[in-house]
């Protein structure tokens, strides 16, 4: 018999959580006219240029039962192709092969993207319909991120929204003097070792596996 899980802070906080959208709206002032008007349904020349300057995009998806996932995708600036004013495509670089994002897209046909440009406080949100394409001629339109991708995540744009820079300014994301020192947080290997829960493995084993993964990341 599986032991009952201990109650979490979430279980307590949800008891008096905001019950509906009307109650949520009462807790805030109305958005400004500019915040509403700058949402568009297609790319402008300027938002195309933002995508062309982005080397990192966060991909948000959800499966058929509502479980959410956000995964990073990276490559040289411009690795996300703008196929037209309402379509973008992300090549699927070699990763862990879990296919979490792609399976969710196949299940629901939706995705959300957040484009990030290193050194810039501007981010760009693009949401819409999505599919996974293995059309043979598509890779030729995509910037290389290793070997030719097995597929591409294609998004048909329903919403384009440039975010104000406040979040990245508050975080000091691009200011090294505000970063925590390396010894103030666990290393990638330490985190992975704890997640794997395999006593026979050591930090050295994980560090070697990570180094090999980066060395052979295009295979």
DSSP code per residue over 73-105: EE-STT-SEEEETTEEEEE--S--S--HHHHHH
3, pLDDT greater than 70: no
1, pLDDT greater than 50: no
Looking at the chain, how many residues does it have? 219
Please give the Cα distance from 102 to 139 (Å, whole number): 16
97, pLDDT greater than 70: yes
The residue written with tokens 């596996």 in the block is 209
Helix (H) or strand (E) holding 101: helix 100-108
Say whether 164 sits in a helix, a strand or coil.
Answer: coil
123, pLDDT greater than 70: yes
Domain limits, the chain: 37-170, 180-215
Please give the Cα distance from 88 to 141 (Å, whole number): 11
What pLDDT was estimated at residue 217? Answer: 61
What pLDDT was estimated at residue 2? Answer: 47
Q: Which residues pair with 62 in a beta bridge?
A: 68
Chain-wide mean pLDDT for the chain?
92
Comparing CA positions, the residue from 83, 88, 85, 173 lying closest to residue 122 is 173
pTM of the model: 0.91
Read off the pLDDT band of 78 (50, 70, 90): very high
Please give the Cα distance from 110 to 157 (Å, whole number): 10
What pLDDT was estimated at residue 4? Answer: 57
Burial class (CB in 10 A: 0-12, 13-18, 19+), 130: buried
162, pLDDT greater than 90: yes
18, pLDDT greater than 90: yes
Give the range among 102-106, 186-190, 193-197, 209-213 with minimum mean pLDDT. 209-213
Please give the Cα distance from 40 to 14 (Å, whole number): 34
Give the range among 67-76, 80-89, 93-102 with minimum mean pLDDT. 93-102
111, pLDDT greater than 60: yes
Average pLDDT over every residue of 175-197:
94
The CATH number of 37-170, from 2.30.110.10, 3.40.50.1000, 2.40.37.10, 2.40.50.140, is 2.30.110.10
């Amino acid at each position: 018999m599986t032991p009952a899980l201990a109650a979490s802070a979430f279980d307590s906080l949800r008891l008096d959580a905001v019950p509906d959208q009307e109650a949520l709206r009462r807790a805030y002032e109305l958005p400004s006219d500019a915040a509403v008007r700058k949402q568009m349904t297609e790319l402008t020349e300027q938002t195309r240029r933002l995508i062309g300057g982005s080397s990192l995009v966060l991909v948000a998806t959800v499966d058929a039962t509502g479980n959410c996932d956000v995964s990073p995708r990276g490559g040289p600036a411009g690795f996300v192709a703008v196929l037209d004013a309402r379509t973008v495509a992300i090549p699927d670089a070699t990763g862990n092969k879990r296919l979490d994002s792609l399976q969710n897209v196949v299940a629901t046909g939706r995705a959300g993207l957040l484009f990030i440009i290193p050194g810039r406080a501007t981010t760009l949100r693009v949401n819409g319909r999505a599919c996974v394409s293995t059309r043979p001629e598509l890779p030729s339109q995509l910037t290389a991120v290793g070997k030719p991708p097995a597929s591409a995540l294609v998004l048909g744009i329903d919403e384009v929204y440039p975010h104000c820079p406040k979040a990245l300014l508050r975080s000091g994301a691009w200011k090294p003097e505000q970063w925590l020192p390396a010894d103030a947080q666990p290393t990638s290997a330490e985190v992975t070792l704890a997640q794997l829960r395999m006593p026979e493995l050591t930090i050295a084993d994980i560090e070697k596996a990570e180094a090999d993964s980066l060395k052979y990341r295009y295979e």
